[in-house]
């Protein structure tokens, strides 16, 4: 009958008989009272890095923006429409999230496109070219392959970009003011798709480190 992807219908079936079945009351309550997520996550569209999966988050916990390479553009009150800024504004002003996490990940295709721009745009609109152009000034400062390996350049820009987005976040008056008042915290994180490792940005130095909490380490690969 329907040409809706069969795998999604099967997955939905599994959701209904599994998770939803066990949490139906929570869904009902969330529908009635509205959402009150504690955290905004700015993540990448990448199919391997869904925040709800990585943080094992249930319904109502994370408000999630996903764009290519998890970028936050700078504050630009120019009358244009901005998907990311609108979602940021909504999360901060309406939902009053307490934490914002900019979460990057390894092997990011968008970061790769920023590092080594294609000769030809993908389409006359060149939307990826324009979008990753937000990172251009930064990307151009990453050393060439004469100096760093391709993998090192990629990881470097992935992390630089997270710091860049966090700096852009702070150009939004609402974020800056709330952070200064101690009512909001801004974080960076980076997920290694291959090993499953989560690296967290040290808020003072900007370095990415494995969390020093007493987490069990992955037991086998």
User: Using CB under 8 A, which residues numbered 105 to 124 contact its own copies?
Assistant: 106-107, 109-110, 113, 122-124
Among 35, 96, 116, 180, binds its own copies (CB under 8 A): 35
How crowded is the C-beta side of 172, counted as CA atoms within 13 Å? 24
Residues between 71 and 90 with contacts to its own copies, criterion CB under 8 A:
71, 73, 75-77, 79-90
Pick between residue 181 and residue 212 the one whose CB is nearest to its own copies: 212
Q: What is the closest distance, in whole angstroms, from the C-beta atom of residue 173 to its own copies in the complex?
A: 7
Among 14, 96, 116, 183, binds its own copies (CB under 8 A): 14
Pick between residue 77 and residue 119 the one whose CB is nearest to its own copies: 77
Q: CA 128 to CA 39: how far, in whole Å?
A: 27
102 contacts its own copies (rule: CB under 8 A): no
Among 117, 170, 174, 179, binds its own copies (CB under 8 A): 174
Of 150, 172, 47, the C-alpha closest to 105 is 47
Q: CA 11 to CA 67: how far, in whole Å?
A: 24
Residue pair 217/204 in contact by the 8 Å Cβ criterion: no
Q: CA 74 to CA 81: how far, in whole Å?
A: 13
94 contacts its own copies (rule: CB under 8 A): yes
200 contacts its own copies (rule: CB under 8 A): yes
Pick between residue 18 and residue 180 the one whose CB is nearest to its own copies: 18
Q: Read out DSSP for 115-184?
A: HS--SS-SSTT-HHHHHHGGGHHHHTTS--TTTS-HHHHHHHHHHHHHHHHHHHHTTSHHHHHHHHTTS-
22 contacts its own copies (rule: CB under 8 A): no
Q: Across the strands, what pairs with 63? A: 40
176 contacts its own copies (rule: CB under 8 A): no
16 contacts its own copies (rule: CB under 8 A): yes
Positions of E strands within 28-177: 39-44, 62-67, 99-105
- Residue 19: count of CB within 10 angstroms of its CB: 14
Residues between 130 and 169 with contacts to its own copies, criterion CB under 8 A:
130-134, 138, 141-144, 146-152, 156, 159-160
50 contacts its own copies (rule: CB under 8 A): yes
């Amino acid at each position: 009958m329907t040409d809706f992807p069969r795998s999604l219908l099967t997955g939905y079936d599994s959701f209904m008989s599994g998770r939803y079945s066990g949490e139906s009351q929570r869904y009902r309550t969330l529908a009635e009272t509205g959402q009150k997520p504690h955290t905004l996550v700015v993540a990448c569209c990448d199919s391997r890095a869904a925040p709800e999966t990585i943080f094992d988050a249930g319904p109502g916990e994370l408000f999630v923006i996903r764009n290519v390479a998890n970028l936050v553009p700078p504050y630009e009150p120019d009358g244009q429409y901005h998907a990311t800024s609108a979602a940021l504004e909504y999360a901060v002003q309406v939902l009053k999230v307490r934490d914002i996490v900019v979460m990057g990940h390894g092997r990011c295709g968008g970061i790769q496109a920023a590092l080594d721009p294609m000769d030809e745009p993908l389409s006359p609109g060149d939307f990826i070219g324009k979008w990753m152009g937000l990172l251009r000034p930064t990307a151009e400062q990453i050393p060439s392959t004469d100096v760093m390996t391709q993998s090192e350049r990629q990881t470097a820009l992935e992390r630089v970009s997270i710091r860049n987005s966090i700096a852009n976040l702070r150009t939004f008056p609402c974020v800056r003011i709330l952070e200064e008042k101690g009512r909001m915290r801004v974080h960076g994180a980076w997920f290694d798709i291959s090993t499953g490792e989560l690296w967290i940005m040290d808020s003072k130095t900007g370095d990415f480190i494995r969390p020093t909490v007493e987490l069990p380490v992955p037991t086998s690969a």
